[in-house]
Copies of this chain bind each other. A is one copy, B any other.
């Protein structure tokens, strides 16, 4: 059990912004240049670059510069820790339900055996 996973902090934080999620939604459909990514957004380029930087720092995207053009692509593996954390919580929750079921079953049996 990780007591405090900074990678998860960065991942969830990166996903918490609508602009960054929109960028990812675009990039899962295929790589794009910074200019192409910026197109749909009513935002100054440096602001958008800031978002790309955060996505890259979190590991959610990678980018390479060819000449004067930077091309970005999503890194699907980066979503795994997020998915894993969510799955873990669901497993714990369901485990709790199972124990509750077992407990209720025990109560029922005791009642059936009772006076």
Contact = CB atoms under 8 A, between A and B. Distances in A.
Contact of A21 (B21, B85, B93): B85
User: What are the 8 closest A-B residue pairs judged by CB atoms, nearest first?
Assistant: A12-B16, A13-B16, A28-B92, A12-B15, A28-B93, A4-B18, A28-B89, A12-B12
Copies in the complex: 2
Interface string A75-114: 0100100110110011011001000000000000000000
A5 B17 CA distance: 10
A15 B30 CA distance: 27
A29 interface: yes
A85 B18 CA distance: 12
Nearest to A99: B30
